[in-house]
Structure 1
Amino acid sequence: MLALNNHRGIWITSIIWLICIAAALLAAVLKSTDITELWPIAGIATIPALMSLLMTPFLKREWAQILVIFAWIALAILASLAISFVPMAVLFMCAPAIAALFEKEKVIETMVLAALAASGLFYYGKFGGGPDLSLASEVQINWGVTTAIAATIGLLIAALYGVAASKSELILGEDFEAEPQTKVEFAHDDDVLDAVPGGLLRVDSEDNIIMQTQAVAAQLNLSTSEVAPTISDLFSDADQESDLRNLLERARAIGREVTRKFHLTYGEGDSRTAEITAAPIEGGDVLLHVYDSTAHEARLKSIHSAYASAQKDADSKSLFFAGVSHELRTPLNAIIGFSDMMRSRLFGPLPGKYAEYAELIHDSGQHMLDLIGDVLDMSKVEAGKYELAYNSFDASDVIRSSVKMLRPAADSAEVQMDVEIHGEEGELLVDADRKALRQIILNLLSNAIKFTPKGGRVVIKGEVDDRDLSLTVEDNGAGMTPEELESIGKPYMQTETGMTSEVRGSGLGLTLVKSLAALHGGRMDLTSEKWIGTTATITIPRQRS
């Protein structure tokens, strides 16, 4: 989808339109035309362009784009009614041209709208349903027709320029750097060449070896006294020789270095891996750098094997957690459901003590279900299988609904909970995973409520800038020491305050928050002071990274 990073195209087309109208007025003055009749029609003609200029700061929003497009269509309709359908229908071309500066999908939609409006206007007038087409004076008609055609042509040219300029910016804005041709300067210094890791060979245009270093003899199993006149003497295997010749030909053809791996076998089954790089130099010669990568390949193989084993273990753990979660959730849901029926006295009254026990059973079961959910989500994150479902929404709605959900818990703990939204017209527009953002907010708020004493205060703040959404949760609760702060974010780690709290957790809340923020390309920042309070700030990009 083509979308301008800034709306210079709209600015340019609007200015061109206003210049054309001003030029037409100036021409009327020079012809000694009474322009008092022209001011009303000229003023109406400037409205869409002026509206486009005024709406420039908001043109990233859908409603602003639609408003601008409808303003241009409205001008075309009004001009066709006031003057004449032909040739004023040419103004219907302006709206699609403006839409092209937003995104290509809007061009098609706008063309359909403009075509419907024009055809409806035409048939309405053709069958006698239209008004009298003599609303404008002869001076206004002559000036309006000439100005409409000239200004439309100017606007179309400016719109084409704007679209072309935006495409150029998108192409040239990419980090593109041409790969330079490699032309190696050869230095005739044996000490320097022997110090280079790996061995060096110089091959002339006829594939004769005209120079070799001491390291090549060791890597290719050649004696130091042996002279290898051609590359045929380097390999006993015909396929390996053919591969090396192809490497030389490719380096000469493309004019830059080329690398390929070779598997060499010496003597009694001594197999080694070598990386040979061919770099073209003057006169058709090629410099070959031979590097023994056997140990490196062995390390890579070991790393891949370890990674595969770890991945298998992680997958097994995820399957285990998923199975355990399913097995635990089924009886827990039954326990929660039946205890809820008991505490609600659905089938009759219960003695006070039994009702209290039913309340404890329900709360404990719900708490265990929440812990199981945290463990399962964390296992998905660690296994790299937690997939974000991106969509555009107002984060302030998620904040308010989360606060409403936790309001009873805050009231029960006698903790004041406030919301502060600082956004564009009270909105926090973001492209993110709504469920993950809700989970972040719920975990931060529940943590703050849990560790804030009676009479304390928890505040959640939301604000946006051009790039990021920031969510901040502040409390004046127990706080943490610097040592405890360092352990936050590690799975299953709890502070001393958390371990002694009446409401125990899994130690995964903030770890999950940190992981979900990282999946969005964001971060979590924590500041805390013992017995003063804690501030947690989550920053995530407003657009998908």
Structure 2
Amino acid sequence: MDETLKILVVDDDEVDRMAVRRALLKTALDIDLIEANDGATAQSAVKSSQFDCILIDYFLPDQNGLELVKHLRRLEIDTPLVVLTGQGDEQVAVEVMKAGAADYLSKARIAPATLARSVQGAIRLHRAEQAAHVANQRLKQSNDQLRQQNDELAERRAQIETQNQELMKAYRLKSEFIATISHELRTPMNAIMGFSQLLLRQYPDPLSEQQLDMVKRIFDNSRNLLGMVNEVLDFSKIEANRLEIHPQDFQLSTLMLATVQELQPLALDKNLTLETHLPDPLNPLQMMTDPEFLRRILVNLISNAIKFTESGGVTICANPLDGDQIELSVQDTGIGIPPEYLETIFEPFRQVDQSLTRSHPGTGLGLAITHSLVKAMQGTISVTSQPEK
């Protein structure tokens, strides 16, 4: 210990106090020594000053050392105490140690090394106990803070759970509302398209060129709107987990050719070529999956390719892979997709051009529905593209 230690010696015998002082001065300790000749004086000194260690004679004129130790502890003075006595009574040693003394030393054994060791040991023990007490207090505070934070987190978790339940309820109601509205819109839209087709036949009376153009616009816009309504309805079914797959055996080549023939008018309206490449015309490519799902996937991808292609054409290919897998690809010569949008085009309501003035209208659900259908068929879908290609 390089610091100066302030020590109080309590003893009514001046010779004994001098012996303690001489022994301490012969040690390597830097000592500031204060003396008291009875318990009352010692108590006054302790109340007015802070000591590093107190050496107490067991036999004092006003009270014995055991009583003084107990009294100091009742005053919550936690300074390390070393009791000195002229007798080596072990019972006395046990009692003073129980009362709160750090050590017990016989005056006959007071030598510089012994006294220094006792004082240093008492101070080190006291400081270790203080450090442990501080650490325990900090640990208790940390535990209290953690307990409070856990309570706050539990409360917050309960709030989030309640909010999630409310959101799920609102989400369910929204899906049901969209499904209902979409279903109700299909009936009048089909009627509009049906009557438009009757007018386009020009029977029994022909239409003027202007009337024919207006009826054709009604039919085209009705068809586009019905397509959007169907997409919203299909997506609401997917969200509600009402998508059921019905696998059956069919010929892929036949389905592909029929689907391409169905969409051929869309390509002809834009002077685009629409080609189908099959690996072997003699091999019909038998498949066991849901043919309606696959037809919907092809319709979505091919019509999407036609919509975003102004010149050139669209090519549909089927390539058998290893095992029982088949790769279908739809390629076009359209406007292409920038790299930063490739990871998000299969998300619902995602479109590269989200502005109100975009030149290619739509709900942004076609590729999201396609992705869900492919996933339901345990397949995978990916995109490769770059602008203007």
Q: Name the TM-score, length of structure 1 as normaliser.
A: 0.40
Task: Decide whether the 8 Å contact of 2:337 with 2:385 is kept in 1.
Answer: yes
Task: Decide whether the 8 Å contact of 2:247 with 2:291 is kept in 1.
Answer: yes
Match of 1:462 in 2: 318
Q: Which has the larger radius of gyration?
A: 2
Q: Tell me if 1:315 matches 2:172.
A: yes
Distance 1:499 1:427 in 2: 45
Distance 2:378 2:348 in 1: 20
Q: Tell me if 1:442 matches 2:295.
A: no
Match of 1:472 in 2: 329
Distance 2:194 2:388 in 1: 39
**Superposition deviation, residue 338 in structure 1:** 1.6
Distance 2:383 2:196 in 1: 38
Partner secondary structure for residue 211 of structure 2: helix
**Superposition deviation, residue 487 in structure 1:** 2.9
* Stretches of structure 2 lacking an aligned partner (at least 5 in a row): 1-149
- Deviation digits for residues 51-82 of structure 1 (CA, Å, limit 9, x no counterpart): xxxxxxxxxxxxxxxxxxxxxxxxxxxxxxxx
Match of 1:325 in 2: 182
**Superposition deviation, residue 346 in structure 1:** 2.3
Distance 1:307 1:519 in 2: 26
- Deviation digits for residues 190-213 of structure 1 (CA, Å, limit 9, x no counterpart): xxxxxxxxxxxxxxxxxxxxxxxx
1:285-300 to structure 2, matched below 5 A, reads none
Match of 2:218 in 1: 361
Match of 1:494 in 2: 351
Distance 2:259 2:288 in 1: 18
- Which of 392, 401, 404 does residue 261 from structure 2 map onto? 404
Task: Decide whether the 8 Å contact of 1:392 with 1:429 is kept in 2.
Answer: yes
- Deviation digits for residues 400-431 of structure 1 (CA, Å, limit 9, x no counterpart): 11100011111221111111123695232222
Task: Decide whether the 8 Å contact of 1:428 with 1:463 is kept in 2.
Answer: no
CA spacing shift, 1:499–1:522, aligned 2, 3 Å: farther
Task: Decide whether the 8 Å contact of 1:423 with 1:463 is kept in 2.
Answer: no
Amino acid in structure 2 at the alignment position of 1:462: A
Distance 2:355 2:326 in 1: 29
Distance 2:196 2:284 in 1: 41
Partner secondary structure for residue 388 of structure 1: coil
Task: Decide whether the 8 Å contact of 1:428 with 1:462 is kept in 2.
Answer: no
Task: Decide whether the 8 Å contact of 2:182 with 2:233 is kept in 1.
Answer: yes
**Superposition deviation, residue 302 in structure 1:** 6.9
Distance 2:318 2:355 in 1: 26
**Superposition deviation, residue 484 in structure 1:** 2.6
- Which of 399, 409, 421 does residue 278 from structure 2 map onto? 421
Task: Decide whether the 8 Å contact of 1:389 with 1:432 is kept in 2.
Answer: yes
Amino acid in structure 1 at the alignment position of 2:317: K
Task: Decide whether the 8 Å contact of 1:444 with 1:473 is kept in 2.
Answer: yes
**RCO greater where, 1 or 2, for CA within 8 Å and sep 6 or more?**
2
Q: Name the TM-score, length of structure 2 as normaliser.
A: 0.56
Match of 1:375 in 2: 232
Task: Decide whether the 8 Å contact of 1:498 with 1:504 is kept in 2.
Answer: no
**Superposition deviation, residue 294 in structure 1:** 10
- Which of 496, 510, 523 does residue 380 from structure 2 map onto? 523
Task: Decide whether the 8 Å contact of 2:176 with 2:236 is kept in 1.
Answer: no
Partner secondary structure for residue 385 of structure 1: coil
Q: CA RMSD of the aligned region, Å? A: 2.9
CA spacing shift, 1:397–1:305, aligned 2, 3 Å: farther
* Stretches of structure 1 lacking an aligned partner (at least 5 in a row): 1-292, 533-545
Q: Tell me if 1:352 matches 2:209.
A: yes
**Superposition deviation, residue 500 in structure 1:** 6.3
1:135-150 to structure 2, matched below 5 A, reads none
Match of 1:384 in 2: 241
CA spacing shift, 1:342–1:425, aligned 2, 3 Å: closer
Match of 1:176 in 2: none
